[in-house]
Every structure is written in structure tokens, then in C-alpha cells.
Structure 1
Amino acid sequence: MSIYDTEGQNFSRRLLMLGGLQAGLFLVLAGRLQFLQVARSDVYATLAEANRVNISQISALRGRITDRSGKLLADNDRNLQIRMVPEQVADMDVTLNDLGRLLNLDRSAVNEMRRKISRVPSFKPVVVLEDLSWDAFAALNLNLPYLSGVEPVVGQKRVYPHAQSVAHLVGFVGTKTREDLRRVDDIVGDHVGRSGIERHFERDLRGTPGVRHVEVNAIGRTVRELQSEPGEKGRDLALSIDLDLQIFSAQRLKGLSGSAMVMDIHSGEMVSMVSAPSFDLNKLSRGIEVEEWERLVDHERKPLVNKAMRGLYAPGSTFKMLVALAALEDKLIDPEEKISCTGIYKFAREEFHCWTSQGHGPVNMIDAIERSCDTYFYDLALRVGIDRIESMARRFGFGKSTGIDLDGEKSGTVPGRDWKRANYDTGWRTGETIITAIGQGYLLATPLQLAVMTAALANGGKLLQPRIIKTDNAVEPISELRLKPENLAIVQRGMYRSVNRPDGTAYASSLLIDGARMSGKTGTVQVRRISKDERLTGVIPNSKLDWHLRDHSLFVGYVPHNNPRYAVSVVIEHGGGGGQVAAPIARDIMVQLLKNKNIVRPAKLVGKDNSEVAS
């Protein structure tokens, strides 16, 4: 074979191999094209559609909040907004500056927009401006083609028709924070309930979000809206409070610091619940200047704090009924036994003073409650002991939250041997028992706990969970205290006489409406130590002391006296004597309540009726 034949065979073999390789590559490419265009066509069609269509969630209309009669406490109104999706903005600095020039915004407003954007993921829409005027909103729409990632939105804003009167109760809606995102991880929109009912019932009020489909061009600018589903409106909430009584109570506390509330003793419904001083819900909901916020936070009288359930106070003489019950239940004293009050009670080289230096003379248990004799309860404390006092306080719900359907409630303090050892690493002293028996010392309670206590005293010993949402269903008590009716009757007689007998500490606040009277008990709580020298020269009256050194003023009570239905609790910080300040406020609120036939409904008395209460 010649050399030319050998070379021809090698060339043909290489040509064949090259052709086979080309054919193989062609088959691979054809197979891949078939896979992409046929087998995976739905997937890539969806991806292409995603590039063309933007899908976003729309906040549902927030549920309204009303009082028990349907009067509006929180509603919605139109809110013209600017919303941005950061990842769709070509140049954030340029866009923000353009918005600033277009809307005549100062540098701080532009920086605030930048701060809002930094707090959310870049793919999530964020409202950077709201409450725009119609002219500003129209100007934005005219310039929209030059603002990538910017979207004008007709949103909603929360409005509170009675902002000051229901501030602590209803709460407000504000800009969401990182803490809110951790608490409620599926928030749609830029606002969330920050306090009160708005916060506690956030999931109910905000409803189910809708969905919006819009067509966008290559740079993410909206071309047209394809489809919009509005979502499901949030649940409307009817509160148990009566707006008229709420407004009256708020006005009655104007200029004071404290709280006042009325509770249905059979259902646990709060008919009114006021904390003072108050603040404007609408301002906080829309956003306030830093300086104004700091003034609210630093204010001496703490307007942002709901004192009804977060204020902690020594209950003072309003606690004496529980000490009396602790003694009666274990038969440690005959209620008719008289103890002599000279104004000073001596024990172990210490002197404990009655609130009146002249003393009350010989008093029995009913007299002691009526006149609020400290000496009687000093002596009773030694017979009862701290263990029984602590036990009775806990039975009435002290030392733990009441379970009201609001966030942030405080539990208070019930002192005892174990508590003292755990907190001070020392033993309990008998002198501390004497002070605890008149509701001072380490003992602390919220005004709401005092209302729950009073309701249990009035309804025959049923401890109820207070509630703020209106209910027409039967309510089961948290517990039956199983107190002897005859012992409750003694305490009730003392409370009746405290308000309706000339020697009673609240006699000046007695009332009579359609045969109904009020029973109750005053309390005056010292917040400073009175020295021996001051007692010798004369105790300085509250009116001559700085505000923060004055006594706290307390009153608890219920109406009607002979068929109880509503309990009242009033605590005025540094108000002075309970009979001079808190009791008149409670009387005025109860008069307003009894005159309102739409609130007062007939109810069967819980427990044994006792005619002596009405005597």
C-alpha cells in the first residue's frame, strides 16, 4: 500500500470522528432545548411573568372600636401616602432628594424617610410619607414617570374621636418597629397597634390582607394595575365601657394624677377606666416631634402610664376589710369586742399612731371600719399574724395579675416571711405586721386589684376576672372565696356606715338616688416619714407640702348598697386625705352612673342579702 492510501484512510477516520462529535453535540443541544421549551415551559413562563407582574399585599381595613352602645372610639380615615420598594429604586439618594424638592421637605424629613427605609428588607414596600395634602399628592402623581420605585397610595389612618378620654384604654396605632416585627411577624403595612386595645387585639383588628397585581416595565416602574383583591376587614370590637361615663370620669380627674374605674361586680366588665393625666392619641398615632415625646416621657405625673393597672400603691385603709375578714374567718376576735384607741399604740418600745391624735375611744370592728381606726387594726394584727393576712390578700387576688384583656398589667406585692427572706435576706418583724394591717409598708396593689377586691366584697365572695370586651354571656368567677356570709355582712355594715353615718370618714360623700346609697372605704397613704418632732409641733398639712410629698388619696366602694351591682376604685396620687379627695370623686362618678338608666340594669345579688347593710 502506498503512502497516499494510508494518509487517505487516516483523513477519512478523522472526518468520521469529527462528524460523530458534531452530531452528538447537536443531539445534546436539541435535547436541552426540548427540556427547556417543553418540559420546563411552565416554570420559565412563570418566571417571565414574575418579571412582568409585581404582586404585593394590601393592608385590610382595620376593625373599628366602639363603646358598649356602639359609639365610635377608633375609626379609619383616608390617608394619602408615598410608598417605596427600595430594591426597585435606581438611585436612592437621587430619588429621596427629588422627593424633597418636589414636596418642599426639609433635610430632617428626608433623613426620616431614609431611616424608615433602612428598617425594612429591601424587597418590602415601606410607607415613607403620609398625611399628604391633596395638592402634594397630585404633584407626586404628575412626576411619577421620573421616580422609579415610588408609588402613590391612598391608604388609611386611625382616628380617635375621643382621644383624651380613652387614651390609655384604647391605645394607638403607630409606625412598626423591629420589636413589633418580632412580636407579630406577619404585619402587612407600616402601622401596628402600639398600646391598649389596639396592641392586645392587633391580630383581630387588622384583618386579612388583600393582594394587588400590577404590570411593571424593565426598570420596575408600574405600567398598569391588572388585578386587586381588597382583603377582609378586621374585626370590630365593642368594649364594655360606657363612653358618657368614661368622659365624665376623665373630666372629673382633670388636673389630677391617678385613676378611677367602675366595674360590674357580676360580669367583671369595666364600665369605665380612666388614667390621668392623659395624652392625645391622634398625635401619637400620626407621629410627634422628639421634643414633645420626651416631655411626655419625663413628665412628673407620667401621662403615658396607665395608672389603673400599672400604678402600684400601698392600699392604705382600703385593705382593712381583708384584715378584719382574716380575723373573723378564724374566729380570732368577737366583732363586738371593743378596743380602746388613745391615738397612740405602743408595742416593743415603738409607737404606732392612729390617724387622729385624739384617738377614737373604745371601738368594735364595725366602728373601726366606719371611722378607719388604725389602733384597732394594730391590735388585731398581733392576733391575726402576717401569715393569715398574706393568705387572705392572695385569696382576693393581690400579688398576681387580674387577667384583664390588656397588656402590661403589674402584679403588685404581698409581703410575708418567705418574701422578706427572698428579697432582703432577713426575717420578718412583728412591727411590719402591724404596718401591713393598715395597708402600708411593703404591701402594694394596683387600683384595678382594689376594684376586683371591692367587687368580691360586694357580690358575696366571688373573685372575678375583669374584662374590657363587652360580653352578653354568663361569666364564671375565677374562684369562690367561700367566706362566711355573716362575716361578709359585718364588713359590709362597716363600709355602709363609713359613707352614711356622721362619724364615717366618707360621710361628706354620701349619696341617695332612687333609694340607692353607696357603701365604701377611704384610704390615706403616707409617702414620707413623720418625725417625733413634727408630731409634737403639729403634722404639716398636705396643702403646705410639695406635691410629691403629699399623701395618696384612695376610695373603694359599691352601689347600690342593698343590692350591689357596681364597684368603684379611685386612687389620686399625692391628693391628700381619702375622704377629702378620692371619696367625692367616687361619689360624683356613682351619681352619674345611677342617673344613667341605659347603664344600670337590674341584677340579682350574688350571695346572701343582709338587711343590716341598708339600715
Structure 2
Amino acid sequence: MSSTHIYKRPLRFLAAAIFTVLLSGLLSARLVAVEVGGGGASSRDFNTLADGHRVIEEVIAPPRGLILDRTGRVLAENIATYAVQIRPGDLPLTIRPQVVKTLGEILQIDPVKITMTLDRATGSIWEPVRIASVVDEVVTRFIKEESAALPGVEVIFEPRRQYPYGELISNVVGYVGRIDALELSALLSAGYNELDYIGRAGVEQSYEEALRGEPGVRQVEIDVQGRIVRELGVTKSPIAGKSVVLTINVDAQQRAYDALAWGVKAAGNKEGVVTSVNPQNGEIIAMASLPTYDNNLFASGITTAQYQKYLNNKNAPLLNHAVGSHFPPGSTYKLVTYSCALENRVIGVDETLATPAYLEVGGQKFYEWNRAGFGRRLTPAQGFSYSSAVVTYQLAQRLKIDRLAACGRAWGFGEPTGIDLPTEIGGVVPDQDWARTTISRTLYDGEVLQSALGQGYDLATPLQVMNSFAALANGGTLWQPHVVLELRNPDGTLAQTIEPVERGSVGMRAATLAEMRRAARLVVANTLMTRNLGQIPLNLAGKTGTAEYGVRDKQGRLPYHNWISGFVAPTDNWSKTDADFAYVVFMHGSNTAANAAIEVLKRYLQLQYDLKRDYRIPGSMSIGNYYGE
């Protein structure tokens, strides 16, 4: 299967999307027109009439735009649901306890909670107070039938967000939530009201302005008690939100998700990332992050217990780990160290370095990862392919920390990539200024060696690691990754194309980058390091990584993360820069018999490229004491 993704939107998907937006428009306009009365937050005085009546303007909420995948399949839509509310002015205080008790039994809500909700309401007594959302239609029919015994209780239509693919892509799509009281005062001027939803995560949050649309306005006449007595008409029609089309195809997302889900289960860990990108323009192809969450729970009104369960999970399912978590990048960071050494000519392409079992610095022994050395001298490309720690130490000694850190920043580490998703963090690239500011001293020589290995104080997000290899693949351009392809008007016409943004260049010679691409291919072909990965019939290049963290076990061993990042090229000519697929696989705390990230990558590539053979090695994901670079 080709990794090139061509944008084709089936008309049936587009028609369904347009219909959903229009349906939502009818519902949301009616919702606010019925619900908002008196001098509430969403209305303002317009004129005073005889008998104390007033004409006020009320906001009409716009229908929210859809979120679609690259082929037009709906990822976030609006559906019609029911809500129950109480208009306090129509509920006599003398019978309120009985009505609340009866309603609580019907809705299976504690009457005390309903009473507290009513007591906290601050608007006019004629302003409705929301009691329950997403109420089953059978329940609403019963409430209507018992209306005589439930004065002040109303059933209304309410548009609700629905996410057809749920956990598969929730880390990208995100979810919406109610505006709380603290936010409301700051959002009133933008036309929001206390009944509105707003994007809380993912694309729902980062593209809130486009998705929300523009509120409308209608005029109504109210009496002295705040009740609507006459509707005077709409003075400004609401404008539906734009639909957001992602760069991601759901099928591609499914392949990444399935590979990661298999790996997490097989390795017995709880956290991981599989992400891919087009190196030529920064378009995200897939972005899977586990654990994750069901965004439909938020759309339907997540319970306190459900939300607390997410918060209590130490693996942070509400966080997109591809962008919002950083870890020691391990030997994937040797791309920085080796390219920096070649570019600054502290070593030549054909120069060789010794590979003893350890390098002694300041009376301390810094061992090769295999603790034996390789018994021969290695060129930089060979050192990279064997992930030699001792060769890396020698390069770090020649470069010094400040020059190494400058190269790290040139490759995009140490700052956010600028992806159009919220909660992205920047990671850490230590240098002496950072050390003086952060730890009140300069870095020790041994810490410099650790930094060259991508450990110690080094921290990077999976997206940063992938973006560095995407830049290697394309000849040195750092594109700003993006998950949104374009915005569409409610009628389906194109509103805006999201153009690729070039954030900068790694600033290295073409010869340096070509040598590093060749070295990345040698990694894949090195059976000591990647076993049978080189047998996969693709022009695959990459770099593995293992990074220790945490507390030592009884045997003195540290837990570790596994990485692999790289790209797939159209040909095996590594001087070319036309690869259209770059990837990263990150496995948190795997502690398996082999590099778990490699096994997950094999499964991902098998699914992505429709390979007939399964290259995974039986037993490689069992618990073990693998430690490699």
C-alpha cells in the first residue's frame, strides 16, 4: 500500500456532513430561543415599552461545524438529543420538594443534587435551569405524560456532539464541554452563554473559532417578571461553523492504532505512541497515543466517577503523549550528535575511532552498551549503525556541550514543533547556560557524555523525534507538523487550505545529511541491532533508542523506554530527499526481551504497506532484560 495519501471526498459523505450541520442549525437556534430569557448572560436590553415591558436582544447559538477525515468521513458531528430543565417561576415553592423528588426518581438523579442546582441558579426565576442532558426519549415521553404533576419541568431538543470513531482518534479530535462560570465572564463578549459548549481538547479546542461559527441575534419582548411575551424576529441569522478536514485518513489511523494496541498488550506496558508524517509538507498521516479516552463520554456528560478514573490513571489517558509528554530520546538523539560532528568537521567520514569496553572520564568508567566494546575501529556511520556509546562519547568530547546543544536546537529539539494541537510541550536541550539557570552549576563532563546519548537531562516529545528524522529525509527542512488539511464552508465549498509552514532548516551541508541517511539505513540492515528488520521489502531507514529512567530494581537495573524513528524512501539512493513517509514508535517502560518499538514498527509497516509476511519475532515481546542502543 502506498503511503501517499490523495485527497478524495466521496459525495455521499459530504452530503451527510452538510445535512448534519443544517439539522444542528435548526436545533441550536430553537434551543437558545426557547431557553434564554430575562436579563440573562446571553441577552441585553434594547428598549423599554409601556407596562414595564422591554425589548431585549438574545444570542442564537450557531451550529457547530463538523470534523472530517481526509476522505470526508465524519469524526465529529451534531445529533439531536433531549434535555430536561426547570423554569423556577412556574414551580410553586410549596410543592417543589415533591416535584423534585418525583423528577429525581424518573431521571435517577439524587433530589438533593437537583435542589442544589436550582438554588445555585442566579438568573431570573423565568430563566430555565438545566437539570439533565442526553435524556432517553422514553423518559422524556413519560415526563410529558406526567406534566400535570411536574409543573415547571420542560423537555427540550438539544444538539449534542457525537464522535463516531471514539477512542480511535480522540487524542487528535478532542471533545467539547460546557462553559463554566469562571470562563463565562471572559467569553460573553464573544457571544457565548452559560448553555454553550466549547472545545476542550484536540482539534475541537485548537480550531474552536472556525468550528463555532458566528452567533445570531433575535429580539423578544419580555414582561416585568422576565417572561417572553412576544418574539419580534431575528435581526442577525447565525452562521454555521466551518467543517475541519484532517490530514489523517481513518484507515491510516486504524493501522497505527492497531499496531500500538497490539504492542502495548504484548509488552505488558500501558503507554506508547505511533505517529507518521509526510516529510515533504508536515502533514500528519496517523497519530496514535495510548492510553486514550472515549470522547463520547464528555459529549454526553461525563460522570464525576468516570472523570476521576481518567485523572487517577498514572499513564494520563487524557494527554496526547505524542505532543504532551517528553522523555529521554535515547539513541535516536545520536542523529544530532553524529551529524553535528560531521558538519563541524571534528571527525571525517572515513576516520575511525576505537571501541573499547569503556571510556574513563574523571575517574569514572562510562561503558559501551554491550559492556564489551566491538573490538575494532569504527567510522561515524558504522558507529551510528552499532549505536556505539563509546564512539558517541568521543564525539561529545570533541564537540563540547554548547556546540552539541546548538545542533540539537537546529534539529528542532528544545522547543514546540508548532503543531496545530493544544498542550504541546518543548522538551529540554541542556547547555551550560541552562545548567547555570536550572541546577545552579555547570554540567559535569560525564553529564555531557550522557547528553550526547540522549539521556541525562535531555527530554523530547515523540513528535520532535519524528520531526528530526522527517527533516533528515527531506534534505534538512523542518516543517511545522499539522493535522488539519483545510476548512470547508457549511455548503461544502472550500473556505481555506492549510498551507505547509517551513519553520526553518537544520542548516547542514547536503553531504552531511546524505551520509546520515546512509547511516540510518545501516542501522536497519545491522542484524545485531535490529535483527530481521532489514528483511522488510522497503527502503527503510531509522535509528533505535533505549533510555533508562526511574528507580533501580533489586538486580540494580533501571526500567527503560524503547524508541525507533526514521523514514521510508522510494528508492535505495540515499542521496535523494524524496521520502514521503516518516515515523516514530515509542514504548514507555517496555522491559521486554527485545526492543518493543521495533516489533511494533514491524506490525505497523505490515499494515501500512499491506505486506503479506509478518516479520515480528515470537517471544520478542516477553518480559526480559533487553538493553541495547
For the aligned pair, the TM-score class normalised by the smaller chain equals 0.7 to 0.9
The count of corresponding residues between Structure 1 and Structure 2 is 537
Which stretch shows the higher mean deviation, 66-75 or 281-290?
281-290
Q: Which residue of 1 aligns with 2:62?
A: 60
Q: Which residue of 2 aligns with 1:526?
A: 548
Aligned CA distance change for structure 1 residues 97 and 77 (closer, same or farther; 3 Å): farther
Question: Counterparts in 2 of 1:37-436, with a 5 A limit?
Answer: 46-48=48-50, 51=53, 56-84=58-86, 88=89, 95=96, 98-102=99-103, 104-105=105-106, 109-113=110-114, 121-123=122-124, 126-141=129-144, 151-181=154-184, 184-185=187-188, 186-188=191-193, 189-211=195-217, 227=233, 231-254=238-261, 255=265, 256-361=270-375, 362-436=377-451
Aligned CA distance change for structure 1 residues 56 and 105 (closer, same or farther; 3 Å): farther
Partners of 2:559 and 2:591 within 8 A in 1: yes
Q: Which residue of 1 aligns with 2:22?
A: none
The Cα offsets for residues 534-556 of structure 1, whole Å up to 9 and x where unpaired, read as: 5xxxx75xxxxxxxx52101110
Given candidates 533, 550, 563, the residue that maps to 1:509 is 533
> How much has 1:201 moved relative to structure 2?
1.6
> How much has 1:104 moved relative to structure 2?
2.1
Structure 1, unpaired ranges of 5+? 1-42, 541-548, 597-615
The structure, 1 or 2, with the larger RCO (C-alpha pairs under 8 Å, 6+ apart) is 2
3-state SS of paired residue (1:74): strand
> How much has 1:237 moved relative to structure 2?
0.5
The Cα offsets for residues 488-514 of structure 1, whole Å up to 9 and x where unpaired, read as: 1111111111112334x224233645x
Question: Counterparts in 2 of 1:490-569, with a 5 A limit?
Answer: 490-503=515-528, 505-510=529-534, 512-513=536-537, 516-528=538-550, 550-560=559-569, 562=571, 563-569=578-584
| Distance in 1, Cα, partners of 2:57 & 2:521 | 67
Aligned CA distance change for structure 1 residues 522 and 91 (closer, same or farther; 3 Å): farther
Partners of 1:65 and 1:238 within 8 A in 2: yes
Aligned CA distance change for structure 1 residues 550 and 77 (closer, same or farther; 3 Å): same
Given candidates 506, 527, 531, the residue that maps to 1:481 is 506
3-state SS of paired residue (1:376): helix
| Distance in 2, Cα, partners of 1:141 & 1:214 | 26
Partners of 1:148 and 1:219 within 8 A in 2: no
The Cα offsets for residues 217-274 of structure 1, whole Å up to 9 and x where unpaired, read as: 7765667866568722211100111111212222222234121111111111111111
> How much has 1:369 moved relative to structure 2?
1.2
Aligned CA distance change for structure 1 residues 275 and 92 (closer, same or farther; 3 Å): farther
> How much has 1:357 moved relative to structure 2?
2.0
Aligned CA distance change for structure 1 residues 48 and 78 (closer, same or farther; 3 Å): farther
3-state SS of paired residue (2:240): coil
Aligned CA distance change for structure 1 residues 121 and 235 (closer, same or farther; 3 Å): farther
Sequence identity percentage = 28
> How much has 1:399 moved relative to structure 2?
1.3
| Distance in 2, Cα, partners of 1:251 & 1:592 | 9
RMSD: 3.1
Which stretch shows the higher mean deviation, 346-355 or 180-189?
180-189
The Cα offsets for residues 458-488 of structure 1, whole Å up to 9 and x where unpaired, read as: 1101011111111566534111222111111
3-state SS of paired residue (2:158): strand
| Distance in 1, Cα, partners of 2:457 & 2:531 | 29
Partners of 1:68 and 1:238 within 8 A in 2: yes
Partners of 1:149 and 1:220 within 8 A in 2: no
| Distance in 2, Cα, partners of 1:134 & 1:350 | 72
Partners of 1:196 and 1:407 within 8 A in 2: yes
> How much has 1:282 moved relative to structure 2?
0.9
Question: What is the TM-score normalised by the length of structure 2?
Answer: 0.78
| Distance in 1, Cα, partners of 2:146 & 2:212 | 32
AA aligned opposite 1:240: T
> How much has 1:285 moved relative to structure 2?
2.1
| Distance in 2, Cα, partners of 1:49 & 1:154 | 33
| Distance in 2, Cα, partners of 1:96 & 1:130 | 21
3-state SS of paired residue (2:502): coil
3-state SS of paired residue (1:164): helix
Which stretch shows the higher mean deviation, 334-343 or 45-54?
45-54
Aligned CA distance change for structure 1 residues 49 and 199 (closer, same or farther; 3 Å): farther
Aligned CA distance change for structure 1 residues 313 and 44 (closer, same or farther; 3 Å): closer
Partners of 2:280 and 2:579 within 8 A in 1: no
Aligned CA distance change for structure 1 residues 314 and 179 (closer, same or farther; 3 Å): farther
Aligned CA distance change for structure 1 residues 288 and 275 (closer, same or farther; 3 Å): same
Structure number with the higher helix fraction is 1
Partners of 1:452 and 1:463 within 8 A in 2: yes
Given candidates 587, 592, 614, the residue that maps to 2:607 is 592
| Distance in 2, Cα, partners of 1:423 & 1:190 | 43
Bigger Cα Rg: 1
Question: What is the TM-score normalised by the length of structure 1?
Answer: 0.79
AA aligned opposite 1:131: V
Aligned CA distance change for structure 1 residues 45 and 437 (closer, same or farther; 3 Å): closer
3-state SS of paired residue (2:167): coil
3-state SS of paired residue (1:78): strand
The Cα offsets for residues 75-106 of structure 1, whole Å up to 9 and x where unpaired, read as: 111111134566x5665795575254146257
Aligned CA distance change for structure 1 residues 101 and 376 (closer, same or farther; 3 Å): same
